[in-house]
Structures are given as C-alpha cells and as structure tokens.
C-alpha cells in the first residue's frame, strides 16, 4: 500500500527544505496515475510557466531505460537472446560481447581512444568498431555513460532498419501514449523546462569517483569526455540536443510518461512487452565494483538494480525494498523505476541539476516515502 500523504509531504519538503526549483513525481498503477505531483517553475525567469504534469525536461541517463527496452523489444522480435553474440548483427564491433554483456555494461567499451563528436553517429560507429576493449567482455563491468547510446542505436538500426529513437516512438511510445522522447519534435519544444546547475555537495560514497574524474587520463574521465559535445548542463537547453535524442543521455520526458513506461514494462500492459523482455529487464546480470564509477553497481539487461553487495559493502536501496525492482537514474537527480511486485511504474524529474552519479535526497526521500 502506497503512503500517499507521506509522498506528498516529502515532495513538498523538496521545495521547502532542499531547494527544488521545478519538479514532478508520478506513480502509475493498473488504475492509472495514483500519484501525479507537479510543482515549482519551468525556469528562473520572472514569466516562467508553472510546472505541470505535462512539462517535459531533459533526463540525461534516465533515457537509458527506454533505449534499452527498445533494443530488448527488437531482440525479442528477431527471436534472438541475451546470449546471442553482438557480432551476429554487427560483425565489425571491436568487442566479442553478447547482447547481455553489452546491455549490462560488461562489454569493455565505456570510452573511445579517438575523441569523436556526439553528433556524428557514423564516426562514432567506426570509432567503436576500431576500439580495443578496456577489459575482456564479461570479465567485470563498468558503466558506459555515453557510448551505451551509440552501441544500442547501431544494434537497433541493424535489426530494424531505423534509428533507435524512431523505433521507440513507432513501436512503443506512440501505442502506449508515452510523453517520452528520444528525438523531440519541434511542436513539443515549448513544453521543455530549462535546466540549471545546482550546488555541488560531495557524497562520501562518491569520493573515489570524483578523484578518478579529476584525473584526465583515467578511464572514468575518458568515459565521460571522449564523446565530445553536450557535456555541460547548459548545452542541454539547446534544441539541437533534444532533436538529436542521443539514447544514452539525450531523452526529454515527463514524469508521467516515464512512470507509465515502467508500468507497461513491469506488467506487460497492452502486450507491448513480452514476458521474456520483462524477465530480461529485472534479472541481475552483474553485481560488484564498477570500473568506471568506483562504487558497487548492479545491472540487468539495460537497467540498474540495487547491488546486494559483498563483505561490508552496504546494499543501496535506490529502488525501494523489493529486490525485483529495476530502473535507471539520470545525472542531476532524475530517477525512474518499476516495481513488478506492486505492478507500479514510478518517476521523478526536475530541472535543478545536482552534481553526482547517483540520485540525491530529493529523489530518495520519495522512494522511501513509497514504503
């Protein structure tokens, strides 16, 4: 049972105590939106529009969930499995990985030796084909913050004959009426909130990540920088970023759209996702120290899970108390997830971007309030 009053109180506290500018939180069940909260403003301008349940905002890596679901849908349609080698559809890729390893950040391709523009898909494909993996695929995992989108996009293009964003909209978003875009049309530009950099607060658990990110030669820094462009927060206010729809971090969405997507994935609503795809999304494929983020992470086929941890490592509870839950965060604090046991999809989005690789208190307070 969802504690709705607790969720509402914590959402209000984000504005009163945690500096929230504009945000929305939605929980979608079999009965539709059982919680749909929106507050604050879409920008800091004096004439800013109020945030509503229809407001869109860049969601960075929260895009990876819909992108992964698109590839899983395409694999299922082609009667391929997570054990199928990626070379089956992309022979020239410079890593001998399975689709399961690719989707769970085990392929060893988080960065590029040749810096390449994020706007040049063909050049990125060539760079990945020539890239020597940073570790043997399947022998450990490390978050692919930016290359993940190119890897998935090229696989979908080869399976479906169209870019991932087009397949997402045609086969998934349009049938389910999802306000989640991987490539935003011009008619929706007016609904996009402006994003701003928030105050930097170092989380103790991210100290190793920050140390590595400060080293220009580290794999961590290269993973975030070797795809050039759209690195700064203000760049995501450029419509060129929205139109590009980079599948790793370029999505634009409403909380309502993301919540409805995760509900569909958790439950098989309208038959969009098969039981096979739903099982792939929730089954953990790797769990342990992340070679890029330098903290414990766990992944299914394209989605993040709460790591169980070993030894003295605490189990992070980012997706609530039920171990089947899965989802994905985005830089700055956005978070969307599915709770299959309760048949729920949940999403939080905002426009004040707090530095960090994992969600902060604004999102986590809502997760805890859900019970």
Distance CA(261)–CA(69), nearest Å, equals 10
Q: How is 267-329 classified by DSSP, letter by letter?
A: HTGGGSS-HHHHHHHHS--EEEEBTTT-SEEEESSSSEE-----TTPPPP-SS-S-TT-EEEE
For the chain, the maximum distance between any two Cα atoms, rounded to a whole number of angstroms, is 55
pLDDT tens sequence across 199-240: 877 788 899 999 999 999 999 999 999 999 999 999 999 999
Contact 40, 15 (CB under 8 A): yes
pLDDT tens sequence across 154-179: 999 999 999 999 999 999 999 999 99
pLDDT of the residue at 307: 92
pLDDT tens sequence across 43-64: 999 999 999 999 999 999 999 9
Q: Give the tokens for residue 237.
A: 């206010």
Domains located in the chain, CATH noted? 4-63+162-370 (3.40.710.10)
316 pLDDT band, cuts 50/70/90, is low
Of 121-135, 200-214, 342-356, the poorest mean pLDDT is in: 200-214
pLDDT of the residue at 357: 85
pLDDT of the residue at 204: 85
pLDDT tens sequence across 75-104: 999 999 999 999 999 999 989 999 999 999
Distance CA(39)–CA(157), nearest Å, equals 38
Q: Give the tokens for residue 154.
A: 């090229």
7 pLDDT band, cuts 50/70/90, is very high
pLDDT tens sequence across 241-291: 999 999 999 999 999 999 999 999 999 988 999 999 999 999 999 999 999
């Amino acid at each position: 049972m969802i504690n709705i009053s607790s969720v509402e109180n914590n959402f209000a506290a984000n504005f009163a105590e945690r500096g929230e500018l504009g945000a929305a939180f939605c929980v979608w069940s079999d009965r539709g939106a059982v919680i749909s909260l929106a507050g604050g403003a879409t920008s800091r301008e004096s004439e800013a529009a109020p945030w509503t349940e229809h407001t869109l905002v860049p969601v960075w890596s929260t895009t990876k969930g819909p992108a992964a679901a698109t590839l899983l849908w395409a694999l299922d349609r082609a009667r391929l499995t997570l054990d199928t080698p990626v070379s089956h559809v992309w022979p020239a890729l410079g890593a001998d990985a399975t689709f399961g390893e690719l989707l769970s950040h085990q392929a060893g391709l988080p960065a590029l030796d040749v810096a390449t523009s994020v706007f040049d898909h063909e050049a990125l494909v060539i760079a990945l084909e020539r890239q020597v993996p940073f570790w043997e695929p399947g022998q450990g995992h490390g978050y692919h913050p930016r290359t993940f989108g190119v890897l998935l996009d090229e696989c979908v293009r080869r399976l479906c004959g169209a870019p991932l964003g087009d397949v997402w909209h045609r086969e998934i978003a349009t049938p389910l009426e999802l306000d989640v875009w991987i490539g935003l049309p011009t008619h929706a530009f007016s609904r996009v909130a402006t994003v701003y950099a928030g105050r930097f607060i170092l989380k103790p658990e991210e100290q190793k990540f920050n140390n590595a990110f400060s080293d220009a030669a580290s794999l961590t820094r290269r993973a975030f920088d070797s795809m050039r462009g759209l690195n700064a927060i203000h760049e995501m206010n450029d419509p060129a970023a929205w139109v590009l729809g980079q599948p790793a971090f370029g999505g634009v969405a409403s909380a309502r759209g993301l919540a409805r997507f995760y509900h569909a994935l958790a439950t098989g609503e309208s038959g969009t996702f098969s039981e096979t795809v739903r099982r792939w999304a929730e089954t953990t494929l790797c769990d342990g120290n992340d070679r890029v983020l330098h903290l414990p992470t766990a992944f299914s086929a394209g989605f993040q899970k709460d790591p169980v941890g070993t030894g003295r490592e605490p189990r992070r509870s980012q997706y609530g108390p039920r171990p089947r839950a899965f989802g994905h965060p985005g830089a700055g604090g956005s978070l969307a997830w599915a709770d299959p046991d309760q048949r729920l999809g949940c999403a939080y989005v905002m426009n004040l971007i707090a530095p960090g690789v994992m969600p902060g208190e604004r999102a986590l307070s809502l997760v805890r309030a859900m019970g």
